[in-house]
Amino acid sequence: MNVSAWRKSSRSGSGGGNNCVEVGASAASPTPAVAVRDTKHRTGPVLTADHPNWTSFLATVKSGGFDL
pLDDT tens digits, the chain, 68 residues: what are they?
788 889 987 777 666 655 788 999 987 667 789 999 988 888 999 999 998 999 999 999 999 999 98
Q: What's the rounded Cα separation, in Å, for the pair 15 and 33?
A: 29
SS (H, E, C) the chain: CCCCCEEECCCCCHHHHCCCEEEEEECCCCCCEEEEEEHHHCCCCCEEEEHHHHHHHHHHHHCCCCCC
Q: pTM, whole model, 2 decimals?
A: 0.74
- The pLDDT of residue 18 is 59
